Structure 1
Amino acid sequence: MECGKKVTRQLLGVILEENTPEELQNQATVKSSVLEVVSEMTKYCNLYLMEGVLDDESQMRVLTALENAGIFTSGGLVKDKVLFCSTENGRMSFVWQLEPDWDIDSNPEITSQLARFIRHRLHITTKTERIASNVHSSSSLELFFTV
C-alpha cells in the first residue's frame, strides 16, 4: 500500500475485536495484531479512526481501550482523530468530508457507495469479491500489509 496523505479507518472488526455497536456497550478490545500496523501508518499517514456507537459510554470504552493499547503514545495517533457518530451514514459522511487518499472499512455498502469518491479503498471481508477497480479486499488489516 502506497500510503497517501490521509487515511480513514473503521474501528469495528478492523482495529477492535468487536463487530457491532451493541458489543461496544459491554467492552472494547483492541486487536493486538494491528498495533504494529497502526504504529507504522501513523508515521507516514494522517490517520483518522471512526465508528458508530450507541451511547457515550461506548465511546469512552473505545477511547480507553485505544489508550490502554498504547495507540496514543507508541502509535502516535491523536485522540482528536478518533471520530464517533451514531449511524453508518454518519461514518460515511465523515469519510466523504475528509476526502482521504485511502479508506479502510468492513461494511460492503459503505465501501461500494464511496468507491467512486475515494481514490483507494480497502474492504476488510472474508469474501473474495471485487466491488470496484479501486477497492482492494483482505480478510484483515494486518494480512493486507504483510502480503
Structure 2
Amino acid sequence: MTNTTSTKRFIPRWILGLLGFSSLTAVAVSIAIYLYKRNAGSPKKPLPQSEDESNRASSSQTSSSSQKKKTGWNFLASGSGSSSSKKRKRVTISLKNTILWNPSSDVETPNHAFHEHGQALLSQLLQQHEVYILIHVTGDEEKAQIEHLLENGVLEGLDMRKVLFCSTEEGKIHIIRHLEPQLHIEGGWEYDDGEDIIRKIRPFVAKAIWVITKRRRSSFNQANIKADDQGVLGANVELTDHLLDTSLAKDLGFTTD
C-alpha cells in the first residue's frame, strides 16, 4: 500500500491521464483499420436497381443502333428501287410551230395560242421528263405575251426558270449545245423552219424531232433529194408535220380521242 501511494506521488496525474487516453485511441484506431481492411478485401456488389438500369440502357443503345442500321438499309433499298424506274430524259423544245402558233397575219403583232392538244402534250412531257422550253422572240412585247400564256395555262410541272428566251438562231443553238439534251424538238420560227438549227445540232444530240410543213416534208420523200437537204437528214432526225404524230407522243402514252 505504501509502495503504490509512493509511486503515485512520483508520477504526475497528467501523465496517467495521457496514458489512459492513448490506450483508448489505440483501440479505436485498431478497430477502424480492421473494418477498412475487411471492406476493401471484398468488392462491393452493385445494387440491383442500378444493375437493371444499366442493362436497360445497354439494351436501349443496342436497339437504337439496330434501328438506325435498318433505317439506313431501307432508305438505300428505296433509293435503288426508284432508280430502276423510267429514267427522265433531258429534253429541249422550241415552242414555236410545235406547241404554239401565231394566227396573226402580222408577225410584228403576236397573238400566240396553243396548237390543238398541244397544251396537253406539253403537260405530259413536263411531268415525265426534264424539259427546257426555248422560245425565239422578236421583242419584249412578244416575250410578255408568251410568258402570260404559259403562266396561265394548265401545265402541270412547268418551271418558269426553265423557260429560256433568245433573239437569234445562234443563241438558240448555243443554249442547246450547253444543255446537251437527249432529245431536241425544233419547229423554227416565223421567218425560218429551223433547218439550220437541225443541221448544226444533229451531230451533238441523240435524237431530234423536226416539225415542218407537209409540203416541205414531202420534198424529203422524193427519189432525188437535193445535196443541201442530205446534210440535214440522218437516222437521229425524225420528220413530222404534227407533233402528235411522232414517236415522242407515243412514248408519252398520248392519244387523242
- Report the TM-score when normalising by structure 1: 0.85
Identity over aligned residues, as a percent? 24
1:69 to partner: Cα distance? 2.2
Residues 11-26 of structure 1 aligned to structure 2 (within 5 Å): 11-18=95-102, 23=107, 25-26=109-110
Q: Match of 1:48?
A: 132
Does the 8 A contact of 2:133 with 2:162 survive in 1?
Answer: yes
Residues 92-131 of structure 1 aligned to structure 2 (within 5 Å): 92-106=173-187, 107-125=194-212, 126=214, 127-128=217-218, 129=220, 131=233
| Partner SS state of residue 96, structure 2 | coil
Point out which structure has higher relative CO (alpha carbons under 8 A, 6+ apart): 1
Question: Could you say what the CA RMSD is over the residues aligned between the two structures, in angstroms?
Answer: 2.4
Unaligned runs of 5+ in 2: 1-85, 188-193, 221-231
Q: Does residue 80 of structure 1 match 2:161?
A: yes
| Partner SS state of residue 136, structure 1 | strand
Distance in 2, Cα, partners of 1:109 & 1:44: 29
1:83 to partner: Cα distance? 0.5
Counterpart selection for 2:141 from 39, 57, 60: 57
Counterpart selection for 1:28 from 112, 135, 139: 112
Looking at secondary structure, tell me which structure has more helix per residue: 2
Q: Match of 2:239?
A: 137
Q: Higher Cα Rg: structure 1 or 2? A: 2
Looking at secondary structure, tell me which structure has more strand per residue: 1
Residues 2-41 of structure 1 deviation map (CA, whole Å, 9 limit, x = unaligned):
9852000011111111289x73643221224112211111
After TM superposition, which residue ranges in structure 1, 4 or more long, deviate above 3 angstroms?
none
Unaligned runs of 5+ in 1: none
1:67 to partner: Cα distance? 2.0
